[in-house]
Structure 1
């Protein structure tokens, strides 16, 4: 990099300059249209600032990452491949530090992990910080986890093992202790304009009429009075998380620069947390508004200029109608995020397990519009967050949505008759009586209760549920995300004794990684961890050798002739696959006619490798049994 001292312009070497110019020319139209829609008269000035940021950060990009950029341009489907297996961890609970992750590469490699998501690692505020989502410094790593140099070293080691690193970037808000917020409190108008600060309570009341409450149990309302600012600061989530004003192009430029810096440290995927909330329009819920997608498109195109190997993942708890929009609709089609987290799939899997009925799943998932063929879902059965019961389609099958959401919370908190679950109520809404659920996969699936009762049959059933759910996530297509410890059946953990976590029972499903269970899984295949590990590994290995799971192909929700059996299709050009999942503890006889209409008479069951003859009248499915039936030639 060479800087002209008279103009301040950055000069690139000829090869890098050529790549920059070609990408700038290619992505400029899609970058510009988003800016012009959002920033109007300020778009030209903002574009010049963006170009300067990109030139500076492009000049700083390490050679090995430039090579990765070129490789990814030749392999644009890298996130869509059937070999893409994801794993999500809290660094301190998994390995203590960033450097410690490399001590567990054997475990990650044995699972086939190629996408490692680290939960928030940027420096948060001290004390309660919403699990790290109240970021106080975007340019520092949490001190107990390591440094920015440690991050760069880790990403280099992971790349050498074929693993891409994903991190969270919270785009809706920063901690009240962030430098921008501190300068706003000091009265600097430039930084007051980074936030939404209202002058009067009447203004607050006018906005609140249309705004839902995210955490009504302990964080009422969406605004917090700040004495220093002498105003009401917009705080959607908590009083210590200040919402940013994305209508201000300064905020756009700040985040673009942060992304470039982190990308130059080797981050390959940005999970854009709380992205649905970043635009505020009076008289709306201020969620999922069109400007969100304009901003995302412009950020995405800008990043493609300097780091085309980097991808965006949208993290939103939006309902089915809004999920696909984060891949891009209309003029945004395929130009925003490469990945969107499939919250609806998670909810529907838990619903099917509780009701032993796939009707609601069929109704809801079949209505989700097709995504761009270049995009991919992130599918999961559990994540760091609570489970919110987004099931508005319940009326379509004769259920009252409010009553059914209450039933699901009762079932998974262990209060409904016949429940096998051991979850915790999270944020009961005193107005609606509805609530959400915390709990680990194993505890929600019945393993904790079965062990308490010392009931071998229930232990068997719980293990079967765990393996079935994980197999379904692996079979849906896209990037399947395995939550830390779920591969060996870690139960709910203790969280109450940590003062920073005592008021947030989501920490019950964020326990320390139990490496003794991993050792037991390897040494004792007939142990509980060993049986879960074996079942999950079997599905991972089957998926990795099956091109049907390439994410360019959509999963088709087929009408099942038996309400206890999920029936999914994967219509790949190399061969069609039908997946069957018995969501009940009962033996089911499934009519072969439903399969013969889709497949050849003789197929391969991919999970076991056995051949299946589909000419008899019925197929027996054991409790929670999964079958992946493929008519692709296995030669």
Structure 2
């Protein structure tokens, strides 16, 4: 470590050593459950951190300082996110994204997540999530120099760039895998390899299948390896062995390198699968949180402006662990996807009922106040119906039947459905089915339903008003429908998730062409309204109230400046909020204002009256 710091000015050396003193205990605590000699691994990691710190650009050191002085920067209500595929959003490479950054800035976006841009293996490559090289950019998108230029342009506009870091697996073509196939025993030990079916069969006894129709089983025979290699997701994605400290150190170098190119958020893809334990489903193991804590601590030492975001699409009860619970409280990821909120939004709209959602959201533990949820209506992936059987039973319904209903509804096969989604990942053995589709298609715009736009705006009002960082999925802010030509692109024909990844069309003025002007205007207004509500700071926990009207979700945001009450009518007809609900949360019905309109709500019959699919933020 000393050698790496020796050329730095004294104040920089002092700063680095102060960070090590502050964070070394957390680093060792994270490594201790993973490796027999945590101090030896820590020494390797501190050397890597010192090397990255010494190479870090002055502008990024300044960013580290600003972030350290304002550690809640990502929790503030003026933070709005956007997620997209670079080429589908901008119609070109990373330089084209930079040219479109003005649109994002005007929309109020300060966090941009670009889908996989690192070099993947050849098709099929799971949409880029089979990474062949963590140190280069896809040739069609540019170079690492282009990445640095993009982050600098975005940073100048107040926008932080988020990129994917796939932690669980690499492409079969990755250097580690190629060297393992060539007979290198060191690289072979980076993977889970078995000479016969004895080991795989023992693991398979308790392992679920992630993509049973596309990639059945969890192990693949490889002739070059002369063995069975663990492949949770697809036969071309090889799971790495995090029990090997060499793997940890390799990924630490990747994290530090991306941070030094100006990346400010890393989305930790498939993080729930990283640690394997025989006799379990190999998801959500305790070591996952320990290794994330250790990896995050390395970043805190070298590049504290970097945030970690956990891509943990897991059961509702397991979500909070990725932000930190118990001994890992506040020490794991800074951000995590609130998958449960997204699922409940669509459940409410289909069922026209907020009772199940209220119950499910009430039972989630409160996350650490130093973290934030990522809230969203849609993302690049399909929707899996993470409806907890216990929550369903508590409100008198069957979880299995409700999940089946939701798929039928959003596939458009249930009588009276306005949705036009696509069934994805059907498992004949378990009955599990998931759904693809843009927000507009799922909400009925493709069926010409007159209330479709109102549903889209209501859904976004829920996630914008819940706290955390609301993230728009590219095209949803414009009301775009599913791409009717999704199957025509080579490699996409077997994956209907490409239907809800449409390409944006830009007009001569450099503005994207909306599918629904009403949706585009409404979501832009939501972003503007959110900025001025301190009650939406992510450190303030959302308090979901018991519904008085079963079709109205009630979410209170208590704050020293006064509570804001979000009320969301998920029904196609008028509903109401009794005035005693307002009084209970400290609001004066005679003085209350709807923050979304700036006007007083309509009050009649001792209740706030809500129009079909209306959202109000009462303050």
TM superposition score category, shorter chain reference: over 0.9
Alignment partner of 2:84 out of 80, 89, 96 = 89
For the structure 1 residues 257 and 558, does the alpha-carbon distance in structure 2 shift closer, same or farther, using more than 3 Å as the test? same
Instruction: Return the alpha-carbon distance in structure 2 between the equivalents of residues 22 and 199 of structure 1.
Output: 48
Instruction: Return the alpha-carbon distance in structure 1 between the equivalents of residues 582 and 131 of structure 2.
Output: 51
Residue 496 of structure 1 is matched in structure 2 by 487
SS at match of 2:33: helix
Structure 1 residue 230 and structure 2 residue 226: aligned?
A: yes
For the structure 1 residues 196 and 618, does the alpha-carbon distance in structure 2 shift closer, same or farther, using more than 3 Å as the test? same
For the structure 1 residues 615 and 426, does the alpha-carbon distance in structure 2 shift closer, same or farther, using more than 3 Å as the test? closer
Residue 20 of structure 2 is matched in structure 1 by 24
Residue 52 of structure 1 is matched in structure 2 by 47
Alignment partner of 2:526 out of 539, 547, 557 = 539
Residue 282 of structure 1 is matched in structure 2 by 278
Instruction: Return the alpha-carbon distance in structure 2 between the equivalents of residues 23 and 213 of structure 1.
Output: 42
Is the deviation greater in 189-198 or in 587-596? Answer: 587-596
Residue 214 of structure 1 is matched in structure 2 by 210
Structure 1 residue 291 and structure 2 residue 293: aligned?
A: no
SS at match of 2:563: strand
Instruction: Return the alpha-carbon distance in structure 2 between the equivalents of residues 33 and 517 of structure 1.
Output: 56
Structure 1 residue 571 and structure 2 residue 567: aligned?
A: no
Alignment partner of 1:156 out of 152, 158, 167 = 152
Residue 141 of structure 1 is matched in structure 2 by 137
Residue 454 of structure 1 is matched in structure 2 by none
SS at match of 2:51: helix
Is the deviation greater in 160-169 or in 98-107? Answer: 98-107
Q: How does 1:189-588 map to 2 (within 5 A)?
A: 189-392=185-388, 393-450=391-448, 458-459=449-450, 461-493=451-483, 494-516=485-507, 529-588=516-575
CA contact (8 A) 1:520 1:529 kept: no
How many angstroms does 1:611 deviate by?
2.9
Structure 1 residue 627 and structure 2 residue 588: aligned?
A: no
How many angstroms does 1:268 deviate by?
0.2
How many angstroms does 1:499 deviate by?
2.2
Residue 455 of structure 1 is matched in structure 2 by none
Where does structure 1 lack aligned partners over 5 or more consecutive residues? 451-457, 631-635
| Offset from partner CA, 1:49-106 (integer Å, 9 cap, x none) | 1111111111100000000001100000011000000000100111111001122122
How many angstroms does 1:446 deviate by?
0.3
SS at match of 1:448: helix
Residue 173 of structure 2 is matched in structure 1 by 177
Number of aligned residues: 613
SS at match of 2:210: coil
- Which aligned runs of 4 or more in structure 1 are off by greater than 4 angstroms? 516-522, 612-616
How many angstroms does 1:513 deviate by?
1.1
TM-score norm. by structure 2 comes to 0.97
How many angstroms does 1:198 deviate by?
1.5
CA contact (8 A) 1:10 1:59 kept: no
Instruction: Return the alpha-carbon distance in structure 2 between the equivalents of residues 590 and 32 of structure 1.
Output: 52
Instruction: Return the alpha-carbon distance in structure 1 between the equivalents of residues 467 and 607 of structure 2.
Output: 27
How many angstroms does 1:199 deviate by?
2.0
SS at match of 2:73: coil
How many angstroms does 1:36 deviate by?
1.6
Residue 607 of structure 2 is matched in structure 1 by 618
SS at match of 2:478: coil
Instruction: Return the alpha-carbon distance in structure 2 between the equivalents of residues 152 and 423 of structure 1.
Output: 38
SS at match of 2:63: helix
For the structure 1 residues 24 and 520, does the alpha-carbon distance in structure 2 shift closer, same or farther, using more than 3 Å as the test? closer
How many angstroms does 1:560 deviate by?
1.2
Residue 588 of structure 2 is matched in structure 1 by 600
Instruction: Return the alpha-carbon distance in structure 1 between the equivalents of residues 298 and 218 of structure 2.
Output: 32
Instruction: Return the alpha-carbon distance in structure 1 between the equivalents of residues 153 and 185 of structure 2.
Output: 44
Instruction: Return the alpha-carbon distance in structure 2 between the equivalents of residues 412 and 518 of structure 1.
Output: 36
| Offset from partner CA, 1:242-297 (integer Å, 9 cap, x none) | 00100001111001001111100000000000000000011111000000001000
How many angstroms does 1:541 deviate by?
0.9
Is the deviation greater in 592-601 or in 124-133? Answer: 592-601
TM-score norm. by structure 1 comes to 0.94
Instruction: Return the alpha-carbon distance in structure 2 between the equivalents of residues 612 and 486 of structure 1.
Output: 28
Instruction: Return the alpha-carbon distance in structure 2 between the equivalents of residues 578 and 568 of structure 1.
Output: 6
Instruction: Return the alpha-carbon distance in structure 2 between the equivalents of residues 528 and 190 of structure 1.
Output: 53
Residue 109 of structure 1 is matched in structure 2 by 105
Instruction: Return the alpha-carbon distance in structure 1 between the equivalents of residues 195 and 602 of structure 2.
Output: 72
For the structure 1 residues 318 and 375, does the alpha-carbon distance in structure 2 shift closer, same or farther, using more than 3 Å as the test? same
CA contact (8 A) 2:5 2:54 kept: no
CA contact (8 A) 2:505 2:512 kept: no
CA contact (8 A) 2:215 2:234 kept: yes
CA contact (8 A) 1:194 1:251 kept: yes
